């Protein structure tokens, strides 16, 4: 069994980004600039945005965070989006989700210029991704694709099973791995809550991507010998083994699946650390105008 070490890979990629950014700045150019908009007091969202800010600092990128109160109107958020769309010093930006209930998230996402949508949430980026055109790919699928590449995992002709059909993970993963490219050229089955015989289908997978949002959903009986197992789940559960009184677990029962898998991502330290790095990579691409030239 090989552990797919997302934490170490993320660290390595951050070093690569930092080197590239330092070279730009040393040459007298402006470095990449990421902006983020966060509305309201959701603690998890603040933790994520703080993490994004810290990651920018670590690689030498500029970040601007717009922290707005819960009662900010939709119009005000749209005005900030408009401002960032037109600010030539900002390469890309994100609006942290969820937004307060009085704001229409789709309307906000649709108002972001696709060229600056480093989250890859705008329908233009999702559509371009599906067509195999250059596009910003959202953080989790991008991170998984990067892990597959960096661990030289063969995907061509393989049977991939994706568990979960969310817009930001399951659905894009199924599209990306069936594209004519590497990683890709796989035969993909997308399973969801209405799938019949899900356990048998999972067991047919050479590569199993689990994004169901159910703690320890996958056990050794659902995994083929030598399968590659990618766990996207992250759940906080009570534990008397840790000082904090909780621990993080995935959608995969790691201890039971580990002996079956050829490669497996742990939780924590697998897919999770790759997501912020993916946002940094998208910001770098935005700065270099790699996607929309
Ligand atoms: N909320 C949870 N994850 C994300 C993300 O990747 N981007 C944004 N904008 N909001 C989120």
Place of tokens 């980026």: 125
Residues 211, 191 contacting (CB under 8 angstroms): no
Which CATH number is 35's domain given? 3.40.50.10860
Which range of residues forms the domain containing residue 39?
A: 28-113
Residue 117 Cβ contacting ligand 1 at under 6 Å: no
Name the residue at shortest CA distance from atom 7 of ligand 1. Answer: 96
Residue 107 has pLDDT above 90, yes or no: yes
List Cβ neighbours of 163 (8 Å cut-off, separation of 6 or more): 170, 191, 192, 198, 202, 208, 209, 210, 211, 212, 217, 218, 251
Q: Examine the domain organization and report whether 143 and 108 are in the same domain.
A: no
Pick from 95, 113, 131: which residue ends a domain? 113
Residue 95 Cβ contacting ligand 1 at under 6 Å: yes
C-alpha separations of 260 from 69, 124, 163, 231 in Å: 49, 40, 18, 14
- Ligand 1 center–CA 27 separation, angstroms: 33
Q: Examine the domain organization and report whether 65 and 168 are in the same domain.
A: no
Q: Is residue 21 part of a domain?
A: no
Residue 187 has pLDDT above 90, yes or no: yes
The average confidence (pLDDT) of the chain is: 98
Question: Rounded to 5 degrees, what are φ and ψ at 178?
Answer: -100, -5
Q: Examine the domain organization and report whether 156 and 258 are in the same domain.
A: yes
Q: Examine the domain organization and report whether 94 and 168 are in the same domain.
A: no
Angle made by CA atoms 205, 211, 217, in degrees to the nearest 5: 75
Concatenating the DSSP letter of every residue in 238-293 gives E-SSSTTSEEEE-SB-HHHHTTT-SEE--SSSSSHHHHHHHHHHHHHHHHTT-S--
Q: Examine the domain organization and report whether 102 and 222 are in the same domain.
A: no
Residues with catalytic roles: 52, 96, 119
What would the mean pLDDT of 114-130 be, rounded to a whole number?
A: 98
Place of tokens 């922290």: 67
- Ligand 1 center–CA 116 separation, angstroms: 15
Atom of ligand 1 nearest to the CA of 95: 9
Residue 293 has pLDDT above 90, yes or no: no
Residue 139 Cβ contacting ligand 1 at under 6 Å: yes
Q: Examine the domain organization and report whether 261 and 201 are in the same domain.
A: yes
Q: Is residue 132 part of a domain?
A: no
Confidence of residue 112 (pLDDT cuts 50, 70, 90): very high
Q: Is residue 15 part of a domain?
A: no
Counting residues of the chain whose pLDDT is more than 70, the rounded percentage is 100
Q: Examine the domain organization and report whether 255 and 204 are in the same domain.
A: yes
Instruction: Give residue 174's pLDDT.
Output: 98
Q: Examine the domain organization and report whether 108 and 39 are in the same domain.
A: yes
Q: Is residue 189 part of a domain?
A: yes
Q: Examine the domain organization and report whether 106 and 145 are in the same domain.
A: no
Q: Is residue 286 part of a domain?
A: no
Q: Examine the domain organization and report whether 154 and 83 are in the same domain.
A: no
Q: Examine the domain organization and report whether 77 and 145 are in the same domain.
A: no
List Cβ neighbours of 268 (8 Å cut-off, separation of 6 or more): 7, 234, 248
Q: Is residue 180 part of a domain?
A: yes
- Ligand 1 center–CA 101 separation, angstroms: 16
What would the mean pLDDT of 177-181 be, rounded to a whole number?
A: 97
What would the mean pLDDT of 159-165 be, rounded to a whole number?
A: 98
Residue 280 has pLDDT above 90, yes or no: yes
Q: Is residue 78 part of a domain?
A: yes
Q: Is residue 265 part of a domain?
A: yes
Residues 116, 92 contacting (CB under 8 angstroms): yes
Ligand 1 pocket test: pick from 49, 96, 167, 280 the residue with the most ligand atoms within 8 Å of its Cβ: 96
* pLDDT digits 0-9 by tens, 232-276: 999 999 999 999 999 999 999 999 999 999 999 999 999 999 999
Q: How many domains does the chain have?
A: 2
pTM metric for this prediction = 0.97
C-alpha separations of 267 from 177, 216, 292 in Å: 22, 11, 35
What would the mean pLDDT of 182-203 be, rounded to a whole number?
A: 98
Which CATH number is 253's domain given? 3.40.50.720
Atom of ligand 1 nearest to the CA of 138: 6
Residue 79 has pLDDT above 90, yes or no: yes
Q: Examine the domain organization and report whether 153 and 229 are in the same domain.
A: yes
Helices (H), the chain: 6-26, 43-59, 74-86, 105-111, 123-131, 139-150, 170-178, 198-203, 254-257, 272-287
Residue 119 Cβ contacting ligand 1 at under 6 Å: yes
């Amino acid at each position: 069994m090989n552990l797919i070490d997302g934490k170490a890979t993320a660290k390595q990629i951050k070093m690569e980004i930092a080197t590239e950014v330092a070279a730009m700045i040393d040459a007298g150019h402006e470095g990449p600039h990421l902006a983020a908009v966060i509305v309201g007091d959701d603690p998890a969202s603040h933790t994520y945005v703080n993490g994004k800010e810290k990651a920018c600092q670590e690689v030498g990128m500029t970040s601007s965070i717009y922290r707005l109160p819960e009662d900010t109107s939709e119009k005000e958020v749209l005005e900030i989006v408009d401002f960032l769309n037109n600010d030539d010093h900002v390469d890309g930006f994100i609006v942290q989700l969820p937004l307060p209930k009085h704001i229409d998230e789709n309307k906000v996402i649709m108002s972001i210029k696709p060229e600056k949508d480093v989250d890859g949430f705008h329908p233009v980026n999702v559509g371009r991704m599906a067509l195999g055109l250059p596009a910003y790919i959202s953080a989790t699928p991008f991170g998984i694709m990067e892990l597959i590449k960096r661990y030289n995992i063969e995907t061509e002709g393989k049977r991939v099973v994706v568990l979960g059909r969310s817009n930001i993970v399951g659905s894009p993963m199924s599209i990306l791995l069936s594209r004519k490219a590497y990683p890709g050229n796989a035969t993909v089955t997308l399973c969801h809550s209405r799938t019949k015989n899900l356990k048998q289908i999972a067991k047919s997978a050479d590569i199993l991507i689990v994004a169901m949002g159910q703690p320890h959903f996958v056990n050794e009986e659902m995994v083929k010998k030598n399968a590659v197992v990618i766990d996207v789940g992250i759940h906080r559960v009570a534990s008397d083994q840790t000082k904090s009184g909780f621990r993080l677990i995935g959608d995969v029962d790691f201890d039971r699946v580990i002996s079956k898998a050829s490669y497996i991502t742990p939780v924590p330290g697998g897919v999770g650390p790759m997501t912020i790095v993916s946002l940094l990579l998208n910001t770098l691409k935005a700065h270099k105008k790699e996607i929309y030239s």
